[in-house]
């Protein structure tokens, strides 16, 4: 058995766990699949369109539920278009045989969240999305529901990522305050630290034209998830600019890309996650893609000044955002060991030192 320290497991530990059979890929990992503190998960050969989202529950496997809820099977080996408004369950190429003291959590990849593809990982007998209990042995599946753009995916497409955790390693507010004093995790002079560090929205604008973000267009063309720079921005997005009010009215059902006012820094010995929704701050959801790897925004990895890009969707009512309004919180966890390669330093990172940036698919 692999000896692991308490903390979020690094790329090196992920490779050791794969060698030991704790992570069981159907085919060898791709060259850039293992990230500094996470593992990209690849779609398998089969997917199913289903009537509705579901959790299997403690007495059922995912296949049990698919027998009841599936409309038809889809062959991903030849590629498939996933339509907006539909729910799909896809097999993943990675399965797990976790030790009793190691758990896992999943989240959409950054590029997945930025095209508004709602993706969650489920397991046999699970009662929660994106949470894999210690000791789990079995397959992994992705629930996929494109919200705004239809997408083209295939076997090997990576929509989700997995973190492995041993022990209780989340920083308390006091520990996070001490870390901020040493490392400055956000550029706010006096950050709000309560169950994580507060992140606010920038509606003052970037550059001379004071761009504040983008609103997704409806009834667009197709986004091929595996083809960077294949889509024209103008065909999919409407740019939004600041006005003197420094506010933005979120329309129900619309999808927005905005950016944080603060630059964010994840020191090399830590990993962070954006809390996706806090009902205390308003009727909207922020940041589907919540993982921030060690080295994000780190000056020595070329990331100084990196903002958190916010994927924002209003809920049932119009909601007014104001410049500097808190929209989410970052929680920090200790790494079990410092990754040999940090985010942005040769780790296949697309968003290091980012300001306001759409996903890699747009040019």
Q: How many domains does the chain have?
A: 2
**CATH number of domain containing 31:** 2.70.40.10
Q: Same domain for 308 and 201?
A: yes
Please identify, among 136, 166, 196, the residue that sits at the C-terminal boundary of a domain: 166
Q: Same domain for 112 and 207?
A: no
For residue 246, being part of any structural domain is answered with: yes
pLDDT tens digits along 209-235: 999 999 999 999 999 999 999 999 999
User: Kind of pairing, strands 137-146 and 117-123?
Assistant: antiparallel
Q: Same domain for 161 and 181?
A: no
pLDDT of residue 286: 67
pLDDT of residue 302: 57
For residue 111, being part of any structural domain is answered with: yes
Provide the sign of the torsion angle of the four alpha carbons 254, 258, 264, 266, taken in this order.
Answer: positive
* Whether residue 288 has pLDDT greater than 80: no
The runs of H, that is alpha helices, within the chain are 11-19, 62-69, 110-113, 173-183, 233-236
Mean pLDDT score across all residues of the chain: 91
Q: Same domain for 317 and 229?
A: yes
Q: Are 105 and 131 in contact (CB under 8 A)?
A: yes
Q: Same domain for 50 and 103?
A: yes
pLDDT of residue 244: 94
* Whether residue 348 has pLDDT greater than 90: no
For residue 362, being part of any structural domain is answered with: no
Give CA separation, 222 vs 74, 104, 114, 196, in Å. Answer: 18, 32, 14, 37
Q: Same domain for 330 and 201?
A: yes
As a whole number of angstroms, the distance between CA 45 and CA 61 comes to: 19
Q: Same domain for 84 and 136?
A: yes
For residue 353, being part of any structural domain is answered with: no
Q: Same domain for 210 and 128?
A: no
Q: Same domain for 202 and 124?
A: no
For residue 350, being part of any structural domain is answered with: no
Among 173-187, 209-223, 274-288, which is the least confidently predicted range?
274-288
For residue 339, being part of any structural domain is answered with: no
Confidence of residue 305 (pLDDT cuts 50, 70, 90): confident
Q: Same domain for 84 and 214?
A: no
For residue 104, being part of any structural domain is answered with: yes
Q: Same domain for 129 and 192?
A: no
pTM comes to 0.93
Q: How many CA atoms lie within 13 A of 361 on its CB side?
A: 23
Terminal CA-to-CA distance of the chain, rounded, Å?
Answer: 46
pLDDT tens digits along 50-60: 999 999 999 99
For residue 244, being part of any structural domain is answered with: yes
Range of the domain at 16: 7-166
**Mean pLDDT on 197-209:** 93
pLDDT of residue 327: 87
* Whether residue 119 has pLDDT greater than 60: yes
Q: Same domain for 158 and 213?
A: no
């Amino acid at each position: 058995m692999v000896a692991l320290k308490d903390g979020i497991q690094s790329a090196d530990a992920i490779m050791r766990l794969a060698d030991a059979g704790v992570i069981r890929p159907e085919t060898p990992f791709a060259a850039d699949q293992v990230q500094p503190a996470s593992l990209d998960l690849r779609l398998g050969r089969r997917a199913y369109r289903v009537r509705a989202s579901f959790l299997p529950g403690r007495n059922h496997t995912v296949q049990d539920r698919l027998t009841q809820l599936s409309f038809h099977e889809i062959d991903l080996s030849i590629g498939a278009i996933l339509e907006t408004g539909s729910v799909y369950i896809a097999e993943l190429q990675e399965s797990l045989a976790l030790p009793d003291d190691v758990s896992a959590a999943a989240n959409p990849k950054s590029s997945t969240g930025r095209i508004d593809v709602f993706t969650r990982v489920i397991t046999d007998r699970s009662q929660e999305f994106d949470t894999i209990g210690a000791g789990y042995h079995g397959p992994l599946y992705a629930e996929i529901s494109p919200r705004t753009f239809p997408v083209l995916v295939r076997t090997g497409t990576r929509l989700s990522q997995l973190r492995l955790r041993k022990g209780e390693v989340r920083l308390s507010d006091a520990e996070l305050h001490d870390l901020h004093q040493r490392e400055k995790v956000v550029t706010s002079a006096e950050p709000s630290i309560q169950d994580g560090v507060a992140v606010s929205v920038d509606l003052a604008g970037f550059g001379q034209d004071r761009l504040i973000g983008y609103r997704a267009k409806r009834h667009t063309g197709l986004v091929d998830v595996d083809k960077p720079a294949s889509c024209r921005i103008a065909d999919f997005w409407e740019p939004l600019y600041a006005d003197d009010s420094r506010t933005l009215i979120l329309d129900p059902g619309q999808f927005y890309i905005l950016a944080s006012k603060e630059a964010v820094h994840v020191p090399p010995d830590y990993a962070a996650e954006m809390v996706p929704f806090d009902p205390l701050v308003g009727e909207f959801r922020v940041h589907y893609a919540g993982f921030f790897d060690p080295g994000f925004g780190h000056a020595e990895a070329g990331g100084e000044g990196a903002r958190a890009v916010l994927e924002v969707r209003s809920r049932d009512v119009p909601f007014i955002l104001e410049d500097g309004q808190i929209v989410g919180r970052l929680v920090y966890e200790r790494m079990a060991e410092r990754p040999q390669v940090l985010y942005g330093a040769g780790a296949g990172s697309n968003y290091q030192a980012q300001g306001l940036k759409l996903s890699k698919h747009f040019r």
